[in-house]
Amino acid sequence: MLNKLHILIVIFFLIIFQKENHNNLNNIEYKVTIHHPGEKMPIKAVLTQVKDKAGFTTGYFMDVESVICLENVCKIIPVRLHWDDIGNYQRYELEELATLEKYEADVFTANDYKKLHRILLNKNSPFKEVFIGDILTVKNELNTNVDVISGATALELDTKDTVPGAALTCFTLWHWANGDVVNTIQQLTSKTASTKQLVAYIKTKKPTYYALALKELTHRKLYKKAYLDAIFKHINNSPAIVKPTITYFESSTKNGYFKNIKKLFIIGNSEQKIAALKSITLTNKQATPIYLESISSYANTLQTYQEVDALINMLEKKQYFSNQTANNLTPLLNGDFLTARRVYWFLSNKKLSNTQKQAVINFKKLYKNKI
Amino acid sequence: MERRDFFKKGTKAAVAASVIPMITTAHSGPEDVVYNRDTDKWYHLGSGKTGIPNRKKTADYDVVVIGGGAAGISAAVAAARNGSKTVLVQDRPVLGGNASSEMRVHLNGVNRLKNGKAERETGIIEEMLLLNRFCNEQEAYTVFDHVLYEYVMREPNLTLMLNTQAIEAVMSGSKIKSALCWQSTTEMLYTLNAPIFIDCSGDGLLAATAGAEYRTGREAASEFNETFAPEKADGWQMGATLLMSSKDMGRPMKYTPPFYAIKYDYKIAHPKRKIAGFQNGIWWIELGSDDDIIADYEENRHRLMGYLHGVWDYIKNSGEFPEAENFALDWVGSLPCRRESRRFIGDYIVSEKDLTEYKHYPDAVAFGGWPIDEHIPGGIDNITEPPTHFHYHFHNLYEFPFRSLYSKNITNLMFAGRNVSQTHIALSSSRIMATCALMGQAVGTAAAICNQKNTTPREVGKKYINELQEQLLRDDVYIPKRPANDPNDLAKKASLIFASTTSSGDAKLLTNGISRDINGKINHWMSKGLPAELQLEWDAPTALSAVEIKCDTNVNRNIMMRKDSRNDELFTNGVPKEMVKAIKIEGRVNGKWEDLGAIDNNQTRLIKFKFNSSKVTAIKIIVTETYGANDVKLFEIRCYK
């Protein structure tokens, strides 16, 4: 029964294999160099980008060898690995009648094939951490882990995490499926994407797509309204990845930068607000007093000590102060103590109006033992 | 002067046994052994006078530590740093014990648990190994000796006596009053007085002469319900190994064995007696004893030298190893590396099930995790058998209790290393040097507490165990399932702690008392890029004079020196890239940030800042550089008055 099922799986894989290989004229082949932790030297391979009729990348595939064999005693089977457009492993295929082997020439059972697929899907598989030396150490060499010269012990993995007797195959394929190639795929996808596709990636609300799209937009220096609208819509609807957004804004023109970073500061969450303020603190672009004052006018909307601290740090770094800034900050003296104390120290050595001065004096009197 | 008279005059105390190795004649017996220089006829040409050289000295210390291996160094440094005036007595010309250039055993610890990862020891042993990475890039064993020498000599409260053997305890009831020590290079007999003694010498001569109870051999399985122990008790003690190393000379090298070489009978040798890796020595060239292993040492050494040359003759001249053609011995050991002899009895005897069932002790002070690795009876004499049995590999760390580290019947005596209170099977795992070093730091710290409280080790275990554990945790020892909770730590009282960026963990975790990620639980904060800042805010001005930070050194990757200079995900042959290199702290005083300290080339996991007491409302920790990592990871921040 199991053998029959196994044959069915192989036939199924074969059908897909042939269809993709011959029928899709949109596919593009790339010669890539991939580092595999089981190999001493980087490996050259052909990575095929699969596109739909509209030209959208739908995925990739690459043919690899089933096992790294250092002593020429293993049976090596070609395996085709498939990924989606951002490098998530999807499935594997074998050639017609090909079978994967286990220790001592046992062949994979139907369950072993399914299990291998599950292992390759698991981005946090124990194979991520183990070394090929562990896999190659067989049980009768256990005793090399001695106190005088410590060698490797045989790898002991939970049976749910490996195909017993085929740890080397699992290790080899896991690193092909989840290793260096993922970065290569992401780079190819973004590099070959149309601007329409990049906007679509932003709209997916998935962090990997978002980061990939922003990186590419930054690289292409594209700042049209459509992209910015998509970005701010994304920021409004989900906690965005901060760094690519800031990097994107920082790479734009001075006017564009100040406009967009301010918008991020206003509508962003706490992490985004702080990041925006830090960006303004550190940028070499010259901000006008009106701009800085307008930023400070949002002081009363800030929710945490860290946000207020970042705002004041920015004002201190820019050496900007005005009566209006003091007006914006003075109400915070009545809020959360730590935040109020931060504001107090900022205001205490500034030239203030009488009302502002009185507020500072009151705070000092109230908290004389805590400042 | 009669021997009895000497002690009466010199120390006014009783001596436990008669073992001083003094001048003897061919026909004299122990009763004739006298330390008497009255007949010395020294004519000093420089002064023109005849006299008697001074060959007796007495010195007072707070703590006397015997043995300069990993355990002894750790004990002595811990005692000294915690305020006790300490002397470290080492019978060899170099420090390091089995890891010294005289023996060259890898300084292993929890190198690898069953999950494939190391769970490395921190604290004093890590400081030593890190210092070696900074000062001994070439990985020379003889330089390692000097690295350890520097490490010990730089401690201001610590005196080192090399080439000095503690030979006898002077007793006052159940208490050691003095240790008589013979320094061979100066012909000096030292009387070292102290309220606390720690025997980390392995063989434990001082402790034995003090009358401390001990045992040798293998327990019967029934005594401690041990699975891997023999059915009946016997006298077997695991063998000592004689190591060697060889070098590729780039041309064929001949080898002629010495006359005393013992021919290696490869035809009957067990297949697990592997020759592969011969370049770095063969660990199973070892001999033990089923009787008095200490008395047998010199005889075993001679036979081990014979076996060593016999095995090398086989490698060079049998034709089986063409790859050895260009190799020649470039170092051969003359001092076998001991695994087992006396095990002293404490208030608790650690046994197999304590380890394999991961027993939790309220007085845990150390941990281990090396497999239960019992080298077989007979050693290389039993060549048809495999050289060792790996009975058990650990999933997690096991704990070691303080009650096993002091003598049951000598009130001021503690131990650390292979001679502690445990069964033969427990020793098969815990004997490993970094584990011994953790025991050393524990007893050294306990000794300082004994002195502060004017009490005994047993009382420390009963009344001050929390204080001992807290000090160890502060000094960067990890104790499984025992988070730190130091009431004096003002970082815990901060109202707010936050970071400039976070890529994993949380700044709040830095005060949770657990200074490593363990059992799948994150206890760190990691930045997103560098420089990175952390800020602690207090409600009111807080007087601080010390800030202590624990940074990442990747405890899942081994850092000890190896002969093969292995450098991969499990071992490094350099400075861990995760370590903080440049760090500074600022304090906010009256609303203004002031510099409190800066370190540009940090070399330790536990980073200490000390400064003049300052009343701050906040501190800022700014990390600008690591030894290679893009992000900085920290595990703990503490602040003290």
Instruction: Please write the tens of the pLDDT for every residue from A17-41.
Output: 444 444 566 789 999 999 998 888 8
The 10s digit of each residue's pLDDT in B598-637 is: 999 999 999 999 999 999 999 999 999 999 999 999 999 9
The nearest CA of chain B is from the CA of A344 a distance in Å of 9
User: Model confidence over B459-514: pLDDT tens digits?
Assistant: 999 999 999 999 999 999 999 999 999 999 999 999 999 999 999 999 999 999 99
Most A CBs within 10 Å, among B106, B283, B338, to test the A interface: B283
Give the C-alpha separation, B246 to B282, whole Å: 11
The per-residue pLDDT for B52 is: 86
Is A370's CB within 8 Å of B540's CB?
A: yes
Across B134-161, average pLDDT: 98
- B490-640: what fold? Jelly Rolls (2.60.120)
B539/A337 touch (CB, cutoff 8 Å), yes or no: yes
Report the run of H or E that residue B10 belongs to, with start and end.
Answer: helix B3-10
Q: What is the pLDDT of residues B320-350, one digit of tens each?
A: 999 999 999 999 999 999 999 999 999 999 9
Confidence band (pLDDT; 50, 70, 90) for A54? confident
Could you tell me if A263 and A245 are in contact, meaning their C-beta atoms sit under 8 angstroms apart? no
Q: What is the pLDDT of residue B19?
A: 42
* Lowest-confidence segment of A10-24, A290-304, B263-277 by average pLDDT: A10-24
Instruction: Kindly give, in sequence order, each residue whose CB lies less than 8 Å from that of residue A226, ignoring residues fewer than 6 positions away.
Output: A199
Instruction: Give the separation between CA A212 and CA A98, rounded to whole angstroms.
Output: 37
Residues whose CB is less than 8 angstroms from the CB of residue B63 and which lie 6 or more positions away in sequence, other chains included: B76, B79, B80, B84, B85, B86, B87, B194, B195, B196, B197, B198, B444, B447, B448, B451
Residue A226 predicted with pLDDT over 80: yes
How far apart are alpha carbons B415 and B444 in whole angstroms?
A: 10
How many Cβ atoms sit within 10 Å of the Cβ of residue A18? Answer: 12
Please indicate whether, in this complex, the C-beta atoms of A149 and B112 are within 8 angstroms of each other: no
Q: Is A247 on the interface with B (CB under 8 A)?
A: no
Confidence at residue B511, expressed as pLDDT on a 0 to 100 scale: 98
Nearest CB among A134, A145, A147 relative to B105 is that of A147
A61 band by pLDDT with thresholds 50, 70 and 90: very high
pLDDT value of position B350 = 98
Which residues 75-134 of chain A have a CB within 8 Å of chain B? 126, 129-131, 133-134
Chain B within 8 Å of A281 (Cβ-Cβ)? no
Instruction: Please report the pLDDT score of residue A168 as a whole number.
Output: 85
Residue whose pair of structure tokens reads 């052994």 in the numeric block: B33
For chain B, give the percent of residues with pLDDT over 90. Answer: 89
Mean pLDDT score across all residues of chain B: 93
- Confidence band (pLDDT; 50, 70, 90) for B277? confident
Q: Which residues pair with B51 in a beta bridge?
A: B42
- Number of CB pairs < 8 Å for A and B? 95
Say yes or no to pLDDT of A8 above 60: no
Query: CATH assignment of B60-217+345-474, given 3.40.50.720, 3.50.50.60, 3.40.190.10, 3.40.50.920?
Result: 3.50.50.60
What pLDDT score was predicted for residue B80?
98
Q: Cα–Cα distance between B586 and B474 in angstroms, integer?
A: 22
B-facing residues of A in 20-79 (CB < 8 A) are: none
Tell me the CA distances in angstroms from B358 to A331, B378, B400, B480, B481, one per residue in order: 58, 31, 10, 10, 11
Which of the two residues, A318 and A13, has the higher pLDDT score?
A318
pLDDT at residue number B91: 98
The pLDDT tens digits of the residues spanning B390-400 come to 999 999 999 99
Q: Structural domain boundaries of chain B?
A: 60-217+345-474, 243-332, 490-640
pLDDT band at A137 (very low <50, low <70, confident <90, very high): low
Instruction: Round to whole Å and give the CA distance between B259 and B284.
Output: 22
Chain A residues in contact with B557 (beta carbon < 8 A): none
- B311, B372, B498: best mutation site toward chain A, by most A Cβ within 10 Å? B498
Q: What is the average pLDDT across A184-200?
A: 93
Banded pLDDT at B204 (limits 50, 70, 90)? very high
Q: How far apart are CA A315 and CA A286, in angstroms?
A: 13
Amino acid at A240: A
Closest CA to B177 of B191, B160, B190, B166: B191
- Do B390 and A145 count as a contact with CB atoms less than 8 A apart? yes
Residue B118 in contact with partner chain A when CB distance is under 8 A: no
Strand order in the sheet with A78-83: A28-34, A43-51, A57-65, A78-83, A89-94
Instruction: State which residue of chain B sits closest to A346, comparing Cα positions.
Output: B591
> Buried (b) or exposed (e) across B58-90, using 16+ Cβ within 10 A?
ebebbbbbbbbbbbbbbbbbbbbbbebbbbbbb
Residue B27: pLDDT above 90? no
Residue A237: predicted pLDDT: 67
Q: Chain A partners of B539 at a C-beta cutoff of 8 Å?
A: 337-338, 370
The model's confidence at residue A144, banded by pLDDT at 50, 70 and 90, is very low
